[in-house]
Structure 1
Amino acid sequence: MRKLTILLAVLMLCLQVFSSTVAYGAISQGDNIKIDRYGGAPSKIREGDSIDLMIKVSNRSISKLEKIYVDIDQSSDFYGDPLYTNFYSLPELDISESNAELISSGYKLVYKGTGNTLTLRFKYFIGSEEYTETQTLYIKEAMPTDKTPPSGGGDTDNSKYRPRLTVDNSGRMPIIAAGASYTLKYNVKNISSYRAKNVKVSLVMADPSKAPLVLENYDLWQTVESIEGDSSKEVVFDIKTNKTSPEGIFPLTLKFEYENSYDVSFPEYTETVYFKIENNNISPRLTVAGIAVKPSATVADAVTLELTLKNLGNLKADDIKVTLGGLKSGGFTAYNSTDVKYVNSIGGNGTVTIAYELMPPASGAAGSNELSVKFEYKDAAGNDYTDNNQIFVPAGDGEGSRPNIVFDQIASPQNAVVPGQEFTVGFDLKNNGGASARNIKVTLGADAGIVTRSMNPVYLTELAGNKTQKISFKLFAADDTPTKNYPIALNVEYEDAFGTKFNASQYIGVFIENDAGKTVPRIIIDNYSMDPFPVNAGEDFTLKMSFLNTSKTVDVSNIKVTVTSDDGTFTPTDSGNTFYVESIPRTTNIERELVLHVKPDAEQKSYMLTVNFEYEDEKGNPYTAKETMSVRVLQNPRLVTGELNMMTETFVGQPISLYLDFYNMGKSTLYNLMVSVEGDFEGQGLSYYVGNFESGRTDFFDAQFTPMMPGQQKGAVLFAFEDSNGKKTEIRKDFDINVMEMQQGPFDGGDFPLDMVDPGMHGKPMPGMPGGPAGASVWVYVGIGAGVLVVAAVVFIILRKRHVRRKELSLDE
């Protein structure tokens, strides 16, 4: 039994030792830490994003926690870079302490893209015992990529993870000028939660047949590496529009081709966007701008006809075919060439010179021959154009022993001429012959609508052989000239030394462009003023007027101007209401003055003056016009005041009442009328704001004030007001007050004042004073005091009645 007891004791001791060893190395499971909140996360966390996450915790145990370390559990949707362990730490957490921020190790949290959980394993000590516990955070900002195939076995259908792309086309429609380059920007948005990659965006015309007409580059595409779910990327296309593009709104098709994260391709998706073309370009238009005939450098009997071709548009003309017509037997014929010339292109507003070798007509043919020039060409868009011009080429005899005058270096308008515009045609008159030309007569002929404004014809006595004389004519396009190309004929007649007559002619073309039709000249009043200003009723004023001829092309003359006032408010004083103006050149103004009188009883308001014009243009056509002017008339303010009622003598400190009636006897309202008392006085109610004081209204002003200084005091009642133009006026009603010192009373006690003692009584009191002889009684002073009381009572009654009267006036208004 004893051995059994010893054996049990040894066994218990071993168990105790073993139990102590296990307890010393064990870690207890705790539930003492609460995660209060986290912060520092961006609004969206995507796969691979690295973040710094702030975490705050609380101690909800009754013990102090020490040596706190936090690991990132590997089952989390986040991992530590580069370590999982000891990612956060905290030296201690007191009992009931909250919102304690964990200290970061400085490492980054990296999102795996698999979910929204962050699992943290806390290790800490309470005393000597170590604890561990796990807390899980839900990170709402995490955006899972969802690459995990669904469980359950079998084939995985990854096509259901389809990104959805669209175009945010909420901006304004692009407006592009024809011929301009433009950058189109589109915001491509992935409205799904699945990532799109290898995105190809193509931009094409919705109607492919119109693409060559509108765009120079019409096959455009861009690639985007990836667009995450619920995000967007901008794609940019640089386009160039054709100069000849038609105006209008054109649809474009955006085509999208892309894959999801599982390399699944999806069918092509399209959206339509629009842009607008505005075309201010002028189509090409070819004309013959100049003609020169020169002796041929290769053949003695031939001449070289040089034609200067001009493009009147600002768009290029391409593939130009020029055909010279009118060549015939007995007239000019082509020499060693055909009647067709080709020109690759003529730029906008550009010129090109071509030449034909011609054989002139036989001797005795007409002095000039009519030829035609036909143009066939295209624009950049391939549109076809055709134009025709008529030209006249002089025929000479080519004999060097005779004078031979030709027209050289002809200068004429290169651009279109508008009606009413003056232009010049100039040239060199050149004698190519070996003999002098005499009795030279140069004439210019033009169709109706083209008027010569210089000497025509021009006469020259002589022009020696191989000499040149400059000639110019000033011309004018009439207002009613229709749009077309006008031929202008230059003709020269001359003789040789033996009186043999010769002549030569040359034709040029001038293009008249009339978009406005017939021009009607108009006269307006572009400015007027009045002196003095503003204008007062019953007074004279000077009206200054400026008359403008608005026409850019027509002078006006025989102008009758009549100024009238329909209601008779204004009448001329030293002249009639009608005057005469001889002429007003185009775009010119003249000034006239008229003195007018305003009737005295005119109401204060704006009145209309009417000005009637009767005039003629250069052709004697009659016209009339009517203009009106506004003249504001003011009435002079007339504020009349009544008699000023107040005492003119008083004592220092004695209050005085003042009363004054005033009337508006003018015909206009006085605005912001204020009545106040000015002077070295004290008192209340020394000002009265009347406000707007209408014509015919009456009111009164009463006030009570106290002079504080003896002597002669000056004061005034001030009326301040404004007229309808805001002009301020002040009227003063002055007054004088004799203020006397207050005498000391006989019953104040103490010794009598010296002035109250009769000098003949040797210091004894005056009669009527206490201790003095009977005589002038103290009743004198009593009477003075009673009189003052009576006056004060009367003033109170009067002021009370006036106060009641003012209240009645206010109620009536």
Structure 2
Amino acid sequence: MKRRILTLSIVLMMAFSICNMDTFTSYADTNLIIGRNREVPVFESGEEVRLGIPIENIGEDSIKDVTISLDTSDLKSFPFEIEKMSTTKRIASIHGKSDEDIGFYLKVAMNAEAKTYPIKVSVSYDGGTASETVYVKIEENRQKPSLELMDVKFEGNSVSAGQSSVMKLEIQNEGETMAKDVEISFEGLKAEAIRLDNYMNVPKIKEIKPKHFHEIPLKIYANEDLKSGTYELDLSIKYKDEYNHEYEKKKKIYVPVDGAGDQELDFGFENLAYPVDGVKTSQDFDIAFDLKNLSGKDAKNLKVSIDAGAEILPKSASVKNIKSLNVGESIPMTFKLFAKDGIESKNYPVKINVEYGLKDSKSEEKNSLSQYVGIFIKGDNSKLTPRIIIDNYNYGKEYIQTGETFPLNISFFNTNKSASVKNIKVSISSEGDAFAPVGSSNSFFIDEIGASNRVNKTIKLKSKSDAEQKMYNITADIEYEDSTGKAQTAKEIIGVNVIQEVKFKTSDVKIPEEVFVGGNASLSIDFYNLGRGILRNMMIHTEGGFEVNSGSTYIGNIDAGKDDYYDVTVIPNKEGKGTGKIIFEFEDTVGNPYKVEKDFEIEVMKEPEMPPMDPEMEMEGQKGSSSKKWIWIGGGVLLVGGIGFVVRRKRKKKAEEVSIDE
């Protein structure tokens, strides 16, 4: 008996030690307990709520004339509106050994800050008083204004250096309430860079309604010495809500500036004259025009030049300088040229270029524009050196795998329109010896290619097994003779894309030795990326004549040389041999899909029957039920004791860790 009393005492002591003593408050001088077992209520701003205060009379006698009041002496820390509510409640009595839930119907202030508030509750009654602090948590649900910069617009899409321009800011209130007293300001404005043209003209906005836009025009000035580029400004938007809470948004604004050297003018090439029917080689011809300033600004330091390449040469000065060309003014220009003897008959482009500066700008930077004229030259094509080019090639696919043999078909084209080429030797070489010829040398011979004709040749190549994944250049060195027997050479380069070979291996499927109908059977398989490239977007799933639990798994990418495993649980529903397969689906580095299937077999046995229970064993079990009852009680006591011991050990260990850290 004494042992049972001792055990019960230990259990009660441990139960009290585990309980949180802060969950209720007792008073030595009163029989009232305020707020016991009360969770902290959570309210939202603007919400009408009921604040329940539980008051418990733990004495034997009733208490009378009970007054309950909330302390409102500090309104800043009181989260409720008190204009139309009572913070005092009166009840006639609270019987002994009973409790009352006193409800205060309140409205949370709209501007209440989101936090936990302490509220002192005082209770007075016939014969005594009591007080306690309870806590209320307020969560902010107040709708706010939210001003966002939606767009920035410039006149002409940019700002010109040395000029004022209007920048328009488009601001939207994306919030649910009005924004008022909106003020705009900038940081990073500099007199030598970008500044407001008039600080006094920065508008102040009284209000922006919810979901409304407001456009703010601002006049800015870009310094005349600024170079072309994008300049950064820091915009600050300050505003208030209807409760005078202040907000600030900061945004970056990027101002595109056209420097003096990049401010383009428009020129016209009027009365343009040139030989439209073509000219013969060594024959002089003129290109003439009137250069007119069509812009709204004067130009200075103009340089007009003409360039027709190495085939057409100037006979007069190819560059003419003009000191200035004012708005609307024009000046006649003439250039005399001739075509060299022996050039090919075709149309040749002649470039007329005009460089200029801005007359009113201090900057010496220049801008330019060009005009092209086509001149047809009637040349003697028989005197031209024939050229051989590769005008087409094909290796059958978009890429070649490492170690793969492939045919490379090349088309050789004679560009000359009147002369053939002969005795052509082509030697093939590759970057880093990435490709080697198969069944032949790296050279081949072509007897002849007629004028404007082509010949196709095919060579078998094999890529190196350890080649890196990239585009490799193949060079064709061409030696040939023209129609006069003169030796000529040419070099052409083509590209072949090489990717790593996919090498994916798996182990055999691991299957349990015994599998029963209706039972869980865990299967697993290992897999390996033995190649040099990444296997992407791997998905694995299982199929078969059985139920599969969570059979699909997304693995993602498998790096080169890495391995992983996959396991799955299947539930056979019939006896005998069951078959299935584990399917791997993935892509290589260029997105080609692959599918690998691993078959497996499961021998499913009938579920074994449970042996019947011996009646004598059943009787013994009933006899032992009484003793088992005390075993369970004893086990419970030991469990509670063990929990207490572990808790004390953990607290002690935690204290030791803290002391060590300190």
Scaled by the length of structure 2, the TM-score of the pair is: 0.36
Query: Which one has the largest radius of gyration?
Result: 1
Q: Which has the higher contact order (CA 8 A, sep 6+)?
A: 2
Scaled by the length of structure 1, the TM-score of the pair is: 0.30
